[in-house]
Structure 1
Amino acid sequence: MIHATADPRSGSTQTTLRYLFRHCVQADCTTTVPADIWRESLDDRLITYQTGVDLDGYVWGVDWQLLYPGATLVTDSPTAQRWAAAVGIDFHEVRIQTNAHDLTLVFSDLKIEELPSEWQGPGHKLPIR
């Protein structure tokens, strides 16, 4: 899911989109958190925001990640081409970079659905310090 927000002064409204990657034949996930931060983030209290917010280290349990730098379609993906040849339908590859993970998915179809306006996204707000 992507919860898209903007500065309220912009006049843009918030929206929440659900992305469903269909017939996903490959999913790779790599951390983007540096080793020195991992070393400081092994305390189990960092698994939830409530117990980890005041500790040093990366709080893993925030229920969301910043979608930055974002998603990029991998054009002419050899992996997607191999799957297309083997299965007989088109496949695509996307790289999704967040503040904590680098994801790569190989899939055949993508369904995007806008969720009702009452769905407000992440269940809490992070304090700005």
Structure 2
Amino acid sequence: MDVVKLQQALEGLFDQALLRHGFVDYLRDYQLVILPMPDPRTGTTPAPLPYLFRYCVQATCTTALPAHTWGVSLDERLTTDETDVELDGYVWGVNWQCLYPGATLITVSPTARSWAAAIGIDFHEVRIETNVHDLTLVFSDLTIEELPRPSPGHGHQSPVQ
């Protein structure tokens, strides 16, 4: 994938709602499902966008939350969005995380270079930071396609109304 086009695509991963991420069912590609912010002119929320990182040979996910936050966020009631006001801690049940500060392309990546030499195609490394997770992906290509809008009550609350 052209580095300029990749950088432009990654700019869409800034200050948006990340609904879910992980390897797709067939296990080769890694997907981020993004819910873009509403259009301020119309107030309508666009359909979710899956960012498909193709030929993903490395996916590292670590927490972005400090140990103290984890320590006060162990209560199972925090896994739903309908928590008691008296609970302290991170509410896991919001079912989304903020893509901030977003994605950074690692332009000098020994890991990507090594995979490119071994496989014979270009590879890239990107770091994606959210308020909950810090992801690092090594992949060859990126595609973005619009998904149908989720139906109400389909397992998550929309972070934008």
TM-score, normalization by structure 1? 0.82
Match of 1:84 in 2: 116
Match of 1:107 in 2: 139
Counterpart CA distance in 1 for 2:108 and 2:44 is: 35
Q: How many residue pairs were aligned?
A: 123
Say which SS state the counterpart of residue 117 (structure 2) adopts.
helix
Pair 1:14-2:45 in alignment:
yes
Counterpart CA distance in 1 for 2:52 and 2:39 is: 27
Counterpart CA distance in 1 for 2:36 and 2:123 is: 27
8 Å CA contact 1:53–1:59 kept in 2: the answer is: no
8 Å CA contact 1:66–1:99 kept in 2: the answer is: yes
Counterpart CA distance in 1 for 2:128 and 2:142 is: 14
Counterpart CA distance in 2 for 1:12 and 1:78 is: 43
Deviations 1:20-78 (A, max 9, x none): 1111111111111111111111112212222x363211111322111111011111211
Pair 1:68-2:108 in alignment:
no
- What percentage of aligned pairs have identical amino acids? 63
Name the Cα RMSD after superposition: 2.2
Say which SS state the counterpart of residue 61 (structure 1) adopts.
helix
8 Å CA contact 1:65–1:99 kept in 2: the answer is: yes
Partner letter of residue 82 of structure 1?
S
Check 1:125–1:53 CA distance in 2 against 1; reply closer, same or farther (3 A cut).
Answer: farther
Counterpart CA distance in 1 for 2:38 and 2:45 is: 7
Where does the alignment leave 5 or more consecutive residues of structure 1 unmatched?
Answer: none
Where does the alignment leave 5 or more consecutive residues of structure 2 unmatched?
Answer: 1-32
